[in-house]
Amino acid sequence: MSNIRKIVEEEWSQFQKVNNEGGRASCQDDWKTFYIMRKSQFLVWPEEVLDSYYGDLCKAREEGKNLLFYKYAFMMERTAPEQYKQLEWALPVISEERKQRIEATVAVHVKWAEEFEQEYPAYAMRGRPIHAFQEAPGQTSIETYQRGELYSYGEHTEMLYSQYIQECAAQNRNLAALIRDNSARMYGYESIADLEGE
């Protein structure tokens, strides 16, 4: 089994244990979409980052922790601050140094999303809003989602990932476009342009 498949299956297992306010979320029953969305992202990661993140997931499981719970709980600092205050005690403490590094990584992702939206507006409209200020109930932005995800990684994984993102930015390599292209192909399209032209 490939590293990516193992990662997505472990994430899915932990995702099943996340208790959503108001009951189980519909996305928790949609393996196909979950698999495509997560695999699309992991396909652009270097092996070193994949290995490190898989280690984080396994360590969390062995210790009775849940990285998917962490991810969604951290997002609630922005999307549901009152509920977040009730969960904050259960979350890992993120140092100021790490927060600054994560903000720099999030800024790159936001810039990539903006560039992608300019080139492929119809496809971009199918996804999340880009900025936190564009959020509506049930619509978490790319900015908030990315921050929550980065906070959930182990620190070594997050450092490797952040370094990789800065390298891609320096090379003008837009990972948002590559990830969306992966998704389009997994849904049966020839390319992003094929989906955009629908």
Long-range CB contacts (within 8 A, 24+) of 44-47: 44/175, 44/178, 44/179, 44/182, 45/161, 45/164, 46/160, 46/164, 47/3
* Closest to 88 (Cα-Cα) out of 80, 77, 96, 98: 77
What pLDDT sits at residue 25? 62
Task: State the average pLDDT over residues 162-179.
Answer: 97
Residue 164, pLDDT > 80, answer yes
- pLDDT by residue (tens digit) across 173-197? 999 999 999 999 999 999 888 888 7
CA distance 99 to 181: 30
- pLDDT by residue (tens digit) across 35-77? 999 999 999 999 999 999 999 999 999 999 999 999 999 999 9
What are the structure tokens assigned to 141, written together? 């932005």
Q: What is the pTM of this model?
A: 0.93
Residue 105, pLDDT > 80, answer yes
Provide DSSP, 41-55.
Answer: HHTTS-HHHHHHHHH
The pLDDT > 70 percentage for the chain reads 94
